[in-house]
Structure 1
Amino acid sequence: MEQPAPPNPAAQSATITDDATERMKKCGTDGASGKDSEAAKQTRASTFQDMVTFLKSPTGERFIVLEMFILTAMTLLLFLLYQKELKKRADFQVGLEMIRTFVVGIDSTYKDKDDFQILAAAQNLSEEVRHLALKNDQLQKEIDIISKNVDDGWVLFPTAYYWFSHGVQSWMNSQKVCEKEGAKLISIETAAEQHFVVNEVKIRRKLFWIGLFKDNKAKWKWLSGTIPRAHFWKWGEPNKAAKYDCGVLAFNCRGSCWAALNCEQTIQYICKKVPNDAWL
């Protein structure tokens, strides 16, 4: 059986030396930390003392008064803003109640609707009112136009104006006079219009130029270039004599009163216009 080796005196001495060194280092570090902590405490105490000294000085007192004034002013401002916001909300609520009363008065189904639905309904009603106002303005303008034209001697039927002239012109000059009035020599497209114009002509017992002419292909057309959809020629018309290329409305007839006449002859004429310049 082997015997344990005897302890080495040199190794034991080295270990003791190392432990002592570590304890010395640790003590040195702790001492330095303690000194640093003490220095920090002294610095904070000095700073606090300086602050107290400053606040006790005249300058510090003025600083405190200024801070208190700023704080008071900001508090007052916030209070005023809060009161203003409350007033806005109160005014908004009053306005909303008025809108609700108006909307419910028009349509009772909105009685139990929430505020957003009431506002949406009010906006829709506002758009409808604006549209109606625009339509009313347009109608008023048309009424003004009608009144002016009627006062100037134009006859209304049913959506167009007719001018039965007093003076006489050739067919071409008649057209020029009508154009100066924003009109054209009359075109007749329906039996109702034909009946109306014939009655007016019979009252006046004169021949009147209408906007009917014969083109270079011997086809009868209106000034718009369209071929008549209905014909109201007198018996034996249109006259095929030379230069009888323009249409007139006779008075010594029943319903069919169109006739052909020399375009250079001077007779009375009928102008026609509508408010939107859309010629029939």
Structure 2
Amino acid sequence: MAQGAFERMDNDMEDMSYEDQAGGNASSKIWNKIGIARSNKQGLYRLATVALGLLCLILLMVIISRQTHGSPAEATADGRFEPQTYDNLSLEIDQLQSSYSDLNRQMALLISSHNILIEEKALLLVRYHNLTDQKHLVETSLHQLLLQKAQLDDRYNKLDSENRQLQISYSNLNSSKSELQTRNSVLTGEIGQLQNRYSNLTRERDDLLKRNAKLDSKMAAGWIFKDSSLYKINSAKKSWHASRDSCLKMGADLVVVNNIDEQKFLLQYKRYWIGLSDTETEGVWTWVDGTELTTSFWRPGEPNNAGDEDCAEISIDASSPSQAWNDVPCSQAKLYICEDHV
């Protein structure tokens, strides 16, 4: 019975050893991949198997030796052991069975540890595969990111080149803008000048049109045009004041002699009133436009104020332009010359 138990224990140990060796051979590559030392695992299993095998072998040899080589004193005549020897053997068998039970328990613990290690190995394999898949995913993502980085680098380079071109264009446009602003300022100034000239020319044109219209109208009424002045030689005799009123009604006034050339022109109209008098202040001769006399063309001895003579005429005795005026009473009726300007 004990021998059968030992044989079963040996067979179980051999089967376990074979399974452990097969499991170790099958998972050797995996253990190498996940970083666990395969030699330590196999050494532990082999050591346990060898220890159990040696122990069982020693027990078996002890039992066989006692059965086949027992001393004659220990056996009876019919071949049975004495009670004391049998008890000793039973005790030894019980001890061996107890040891066997302990070894079975240890073996069960080892098998349980083995199974736990197998489960841990499976979990580690799952984690390894998951990590491998994650690694592939990360590598794929890294490759895609590298491609995107390269594309972004290309786009950045293109945008940078476009930015530089835009800056150059912006600088050129700013320069052109400054030139255009300068030209605009110049043209604005020229436009202002042209507008001023246009306004002046428009006024001059209007003045000329008015002067031409006035000139045409006056000349149609018998006025004489000479050196921007119009002269009306009136044929009716009137006093100096009445003559002036008549000229004012025509939009003119008695003639004012400004220079010798004008006096030469007027010399032909003898005994005609001119616009000179001292009616305001005796001895202070003043023209009808309010200016005092500065250049005079009096006859010798004139003005003499003989008989309240306060108004001037072109003398009938005038022989030269520089000696042509005479003072006479303003109430005398004489011809008169009106002057207007265009």
**In terms of Rg, which structure is larger?**
2
TM-score under structure 1 length normalisation? 0.49
